[in-house]
Amino acid sequence: MISLVIPVHNEAPVLPLLLDRIGSASRAWNDEYEIIFIDDGSTDASLSILLSASDRDPRIHIVKLSRNFGHQPAITAGIQQASGDVVVILDADLQDPPEEITRLLEKWREGYQVVYGVRTGREESLPKRTAYSIFYRILHWISDFDIPLDSGDFCLMDRKVVDALNVLLPERVRFVRGLRAYVGFKQTGLIYKRGARAAGTPSYTFKSLLKLAIDGLFGFSMVPLRLASYLGFFIAIPSFLVGLYFIIIRIFNVSVFGHRAAETPGLAALAVGLFFLSGLILIILGIIGEYLGRIYIEVKRRPPYVVDFVHSTGTRKAQSALQMERV
């Protein structure tokens, strides 16, 4: 049994094509499957298209969230609803080709419990590709464990991995590809070409991408916090040496490298140093604030999403948010 988890936010133009391509690709799987669409507060015709498709096909299930909670909470809602032996996460915009699921399944049958897609040949602007590349390399470098380079949410996960994500990792600030790497198990990457959107416009704004990047960087590494200590030593040692230099030429009125105390009023150096240290302190306070904010969110224990209803014409029954099991 294969569960496809697909978050949707204003994807009405691409949904008919997505359903057609999944139907065509499924002929090569030779397995039962279900499709779990998570409507993440869409304001276009996405929900009505999905409800109509679910009425025609009992394998299609709709989880409607009460508002737009974001991409990662929507994926979390999907994998908590999935009942398959394997769960495949892909985006609705067809940048993750459904035809590649066959290759993911082949790797799973070889014994791998996580098969993640490694993006290559992205059909996006150069600045965006460069930003993505820099982010993944910084994340890989500072992470406390190995997060594969250029691996997005497109992946296949064994039931054992999904259960670990649902039960053992109840954190509220979710970065699924990082959590997937954290749980371990036998993992491998699969290179694929990430194409352009098939239709419509991206709902991921620059602000959303920046938030996702910050969640990844601060959620899986202590390096930003340790940065304060590193910078402190980096600044303190040269500052001590410079201070010692001024003390020597002031007390002994000696010439050091051709300079005397009278020739070194130091106003400009003092001003530059003051502004530099002030900016540095604000940066460090901001980093500490990011971690404190995450602690604040976790302590409140608000759910990462709220479900309005679940619609299904198959073996699942429509249920309200209060009837859903809370993990």
Predicted confidence (pLDDT) per residue in 37-64, tens digit: 999 888 888 888 898 888 888 888 999 9
Structure token pair of residue 276: 């530099």
Helices (DSSP H) in 252-301: which residue ranges? 267-300
Per-residue confidence band for 321, with pLDDT thresholds at 50, 70 and 90: very low
- Domain membership of residue 284 as a residue range: 223-300
Per-residue confidence band for 5, with pLDDT thresholds at 50, 70 and 90: very high
Percent of the chain that is helix, strand, coil (3-state, to 5): 50, 15, 30
Q: Are residues 87 and 72 in the same domain?
A: yes
Q: Are residues 215 and 307 in the same domain?
A: yes
The pLDDT tens digits for 192-238 are: 777 665 555 656 555 666 666 666 666 666 666 667 666 666 766 66
Q: Are residues 133 and 156 in the same domain?
A: yes
User: What's the whole-number mean pLDDT along residues 133-139?
Assistant: 69
pTM over 0.85: no
| Whole-number average pLDDT of the chain | 75
Whether residue 17 contacts residue 199, with contact meaning beta carbons closer than 8 Å, is answered with yes
pLDDT of residue 232: 67
Strands (E), the chain: 2-8, 33-39, 60-65, 86-89, 114-120, 151-158, 187-193, 307-312, 319-320
Q: Are residues 110 and 185 in the same domain?
A: yes
Q: Are residues 307 and 276 in the same domain?
A: no
pLDDT of residue 4: 92
Helix (H, G, I), strand (E, B) or coil at 154: strand
pLDDT of residue 40: 87
Q: Identify the CATH number of the domain in which residue 187 sits.
A: 3.90.550.10
Q: Are residues 25 and 148 in the same domain?
A: yes
Looking at per-residue pLDDT, the higher value among 164 and 211 belongs to 164
The pLDDT tens digits for 87-127 are: 998 888 888 888 888 888 988 888 888 888 887 766 666 66
Q: Are residues 37 and 134 in the same domain?
A: yes
Report the percentage of the chain scoring pLDDT > 90.
4
**CA angle 63-67-70, nearest 5°?**
85
The pLDDT tens digits for 238-286 are: 666 666 666 666 666 666 555 555 555 555 466 556 666 766 777 777 7
Q: Are residues 201 and 91 in the same domain?
A: yes
Q: Are residues 215 and 248 in the same domain?
A: no
pLDDT of residue 319: 39
User: What's the whole-number mean pLDDT along residues 23-37?
Assistant: 86
Find, among 81, 71, 118, the residue nearest to 96 by Cα.
118
Q: Are residues 215 and 277 in the same domain?
A: no
Residue 3 has pLDDT above 70, yes or no: yes
Sheet with strand 151-158: strands edge to edge: 187-193, 114-120, 151-158, 86-89, 2-8, 33-39, 60-65, 307-312, 319-320
Structure token pair of residue 115: 């098969």
pLDDT of residue 184: 81
Mean pLDDT check: name the lowest of 24-28, 45-49, 132-136, 315-319.
Answer: 315-319
Query: How many domains is the chain built from?
Result: 2
Residue 296 has pLDDT above 80, yes or no: no
What does the alpha-carbon distance between residue 117 and residue 194 come to, in Å, rounded to a whole number?
9
Residue 13 has pLDDT above 70, yes or no: yes
Q: Are residues 61 and 142 in the same domain?
A: yes
Q: Are residues 32 and 181 in the same domain?
A: yes
pLDDT of residue 317: 41
Looking at per-residue pLDDT, the higher value among 160 and 215 belongs to 160
